[in-house]
Amino acid sequence: MEISAKLTSTSSSERRVSHSWRALLLLTAAIIAVPVLVIVASLLQGYSPVWEHLLDTVLRDYVVNSLLLMLGVGVGTLLLGVTGAWLTAMCDFPGRRVFSWALLLPMAIPAYIIAYTYTGMLDYSGPVQSALRAQFGWGYGDYYFPAIRSLGGAVCMLSLVLYPYVYLLVRVAFSEQSTAVLEASRSLGKGPWATLFQVALPMARPALVAGTSLALMEALADYGTVDYFGVSAFTTGIFRTWYGLGELQTAAQLAAFLLLFVFALFLLEQASRRRMRFHHVSARRQAHRLPLTGWRGWLAFAVALSILSAGFLLPALQLGSWAAARLADTDMAAFFTLVGSSFSLAAMASVACLLIALLLGYGKRLHPGPLEQQAARVSSMGYAVPGTVIAVGVLIPFAWLDNRVDGFMREYFDISTGLLLSGTLAALVFAYVVRFLSVSLQTVDAGLARIRPSLDESARSLGHGPLGVLRRIHLPMLRGSLATALLLVFVDVLKELPTTLILRPFNFSTLAVRAHELASDERLADAALPALAIVLIGLLPVILMTRTARAPAFHDNRDGND
């Protein structure tokens, strides 16, 4: 009887913990979804007279420029990403092994930083045009040079840093394709180009669509590049409407229209694949890469080097040169203060994302029902939402709550509480959690999926409850996944610009904000040191991802391994 009572008590305690975990999961997902829901709900509210001004003046530019930006970045990332993926996955040429991982390095450079560096190099007073004038004796107006600060320039900058999304996914897709199919194409007389366009690319279509969709969402979310280049897009329009016209509600409605662009992108991607089916067919035998010798090999080397140089080497060298030149005049105490504030903010946000991801991921494992699955998906949708939209969606409910608390305290206690949440680090960290939780959750989910459910059952049979199983079984086995999740969010927060610009407290700055402020004041060389710090830290997750870029599907013609 006594043993039975203990078992009953233990079972009841486990059920309470399990139900509490489920309730906490649903509550957390609901809170994280609030900013996006607030933005969507703003469309149902009334429209101010400012809308007539926007419709008559700039709204058309916002729509057209955003569409052209998406179109240009889509073409640019496909061209660069597919070219690099085909050369490194399907061909053998000098330097292929190095390029297979080095072509991912542009991911370490935020788009707004590469925009600053190319502006410094290609503007009228930059070294390129200065060298042309000195060489040919030209003066102002004697020659034509493409304007870097333009919509075309923004497309080029974004394409150079976003093509790795396409490159990484398409390279893996190429490496995993059936070698029997590819060799059958060659045996039927089709050359490398025909095989690429008629066989390999159609088979890799899911990877193409996924990579391009990620790049387009990042392009829509960009603020620093389009603002610096003077391009009227939705992200810049939200800032101008808010700060210039003082219309927070109208800014929220503009953010909602930008959100509709993102959702439309999802719907178009799904509709394009509705009647198509893709199946992975294992290669029956390993095939050799296409050997490129002589001038063809060196041409492939030159193409890969050009992509890498434009996306990483030239900007990094320019930043290093500027930073070295201004290092003696730099206030290092102020710089390290920036580093400290940036690191502390990124650490708080990454730890918060990790804890919430553990809560949601393990909650789904305990309760794998449709409601819990949908709740986790809703909480993950922030990564597809631009940071500008998230910031506006956070500020509106926080300001409402602050005003209600202040009004209550004034009425009943004659005390003004002021702003308790708005303009604080808490609001900023919450916005980062909404924006980047998906990164942590996907990493934690992937780690949990590798743990067999039988281990949970064995631990339960030995008397461990849900918390005991998590502490004794899952956490030790998830160490690598947890470290990866922390690192990825840490670097994402460090690079994030629009969210920080909108929600940061007064007199609080980060490396990204300071680099943007200095570049906006045309102090490009002074902006180099904080920008270079962001780039160097951004290399850490890229180094992790280079492991996935080395796919062992083919033999190397030189030594038989990859």
Q: List per-residue pLDDT tens for the chain, 562 residues long.
A: 444 444 444 456 666 766 777 788 888 888 888 888 888 888 777 777 777 788 888 888 988 999 999 999 999 999 999 899 888 887 888 988 899 889 988 988 899 999 999 999 988 888 888 888 888 888 877 788 888 899 999 999 999 999 988 888 888 777 765 454 555 555 555 556 566 655 666 666 777 777 888 788 888 888 889 999 989 888 888 888 877 777 777 888 888 888 887 777 766 666 655 544 444 444 444 446 777 778 888 999 999 999 999 999 999 999 999 999 888 888 888 888 988 999 899 999 999 999 998 888 877 877 777 887 787 777 777 777 788 888 888 888 888 888 888 888 887 887 887 777 888 888 999 999 998 888 888 888 777 777 777 666 676 666 666 666 777 776 787 787 788 788 888 888 888 888 898 888 888 889 999 999 888 888 888 889 999 999 988 888 887 766 654 544 444 444 434 4
> What would the two tokens of residue 561 be?
């391994």
8 A C-beta contact, residue 511 and residue 339: yes
User: How far apart, in Å, are the Cα atoms of 58 and each of 67, 242, 245, 387, 491?
Assistant: 14, 14, 13, 21, 34
One-letter amino acid for residue 451 of the chain: I
What is the sign, positive or negative, of the torsion defined by CA atoms of 375, 491, 528, 112? negative
User: What's the CA gap between 434 and 396, in Å, rounded?
Assistant: 15
Write the CB contacts of 146 (distance below 8 Å, at least 6 apart in sequence). 152, 153
8 A C-beta contact, residue 90 and residue 199: no
Write the CB contacts of 424 (distance below 8 Å, at least 6 apart in sequence). 505
User: How far apart, in Å, are the Cα atoms of 195 and each of 280, 397, 533?
Assistant: 18, 54, 43
Q: Which CATH architecture has domain 11-46+329-509?
A: Orthogonal Bundle (1.10)
Tokens 């990620």 map to which residue?
214
Write the CB contacts of 266 (distance below 8 Å, at least 6 apart in sequence). 213, 384
E strand spans, 77-234: 91-92
Largest CA distance in the chain: 102
